[in-house]
Structure 1
Amino acid sequence: MIKNSKLNNIYWTSIPKKYLNVPYFELLDGVEGILGQVPSDKEILVVCAKEGSSIMIADMLFEEGLDVAYLKGGMKAWSEHLEPIKVGNLKDGGEIYQFVRIGKGCLSYMVVSNGEAAIIDATRMTDIYTKFAEDINATIIHVFDTHLHADHISGGRAIAEKTNATYWLPPKDAIEVTYEYQPLEGGIDVTIGNTTINIHALYSPGHTIGSTSFVVDEKFLLSGDILFIDSIGRPDLAGKAEDWVTDLRESLYKRYRKLSEELIVLPAHFMIIDELNEDGSVSKKLGTLFEQNHGLNIEDENEFRKLVTENLPPQPNSYQEIRETNMGKISPDEEKQREMEIGPNRCAVR
Structure 2
Amino acid sequence: MTVIKMTAAEVARKVIENQSLFILDVRNKDAFEDWKIEGHSFDYLNIPYFDLLDGVDEIIPQLPTDKDVLVVCAKEGSSLMVAEMVSEAGRDVFYLEGGMKSWSSYLEPIKVSDLTGGGELYQFVRLGKGCLSYMVISEGEAAIIDAVRFTEVFTNFAKEKNVEIKHVFDTHLHADHISGGRHIAEATGATYYLPPKDAEEVVFDYTPLEDGLTVKVGASQIEIGALYSPGHTIGSTSFIVDSKYLLTGDILFIDSIGRPDLAGLAEDWVGDLRETLYRRYRELAEDLIVLPAHFMIIEELNEDGTVAKRLGDLFAENHGLNIESEEDFRHTVTDNLPPQPNAYEQIRQVNMGKITPDTDEQTEMEIGPNRCAVR
Tell me which interval the TM-score lies in, with the shorter structure as reference length.
over 0.9
AA at the equivalent of 2:247? L
Q: Deviations over 1:226-263 (max 9, x none)?
A: 10001111111112111112211111111111111111
Q: Deviations over 1:1-26 (max 9, x none)?
A: 42211222222123353211122223
- In structure 1, distance between residues paired with 2:85 and 2:342: 36
**Aligned residues between the structures:** 348
**Stretch deviating more after TM superposition (143-152 or 336-345):** 336-345
Q: Tell me how far 1:50 sits from its aligned partner.
A: 1.3
Runs of 4+ in 1 over 6 A off after TM superposition: none
RMSD between aligned alpha carbons? Answer: 1.2
Match of 1:252 among 268, 272, 277: 277
1:196 and 2:196 matched: no
1:333 and 2:358 matched: yes
- In structure 2, distance between residues paired with 1:303 and 1:37: 46
Match of 2:119 among 75, 83, 94: 94
* Mapping of residues 193-272 of structure 1, within 5 Å: 193=218, 194=220, 195-202=222-229, 204-206=230-232, 208-272=233-297
Residue 165 (structure 2) aligns with: 140
Conservation of the 8 A alpha-carbon contact between 1:290 and 1:296? yes
Q: Tell me how far 1:199 sits from its aligned partner.
A: 1.1
Q: Tell me how far 1:275 sits from its aligned partner.
A: 0.7
- In structure 2, distance between residues paired with 1:176 and 1:119: 23
- TM-score, length-scaled by structure 2: 0.90
- In structure 2, distance between residues paired with 1:216 and 1:96: 9
- In structure 1, distance between residues paired with 2:141 and 2:66: 49
Q: What secondary structure, in the 3-state scheme, does the structure 1 residue paired with 2:58 have? A: helix
1:6 and 2:33 matched: no
Conservation of the 8 A alpha-carbon contact between 2:231 and 2:276? no
- In structure 1, distance between residues paired with 2:6 and 2:367: 23
Conservation of the 8 A alpha-carbon contact between 1:42 and 1:67? no
- TM-score, length-scaled by structure 1: 0.97
**Stretch deviating more after TM superposition (5-14 or 116-125):** 5-14
Match of 2:304 among 279, 284, 292: 279
Residue 116 (structure 1) aligns with: 141
Of all paired residues, the percent bearing the same amino acid is: 66
Q: Deviations over 1:138-179 (max 9, x none)?
A: 111110000000111101011111111100000000000000
Conservation of the 8 A alpha-carbon contact between 1:205 and 1:225? no
AA at the equivalent of 2:150? M
**Stretch deviating more after TM superposition (113-122 or 24-33):** 24-33
1:343 and 2:368 matched: yes
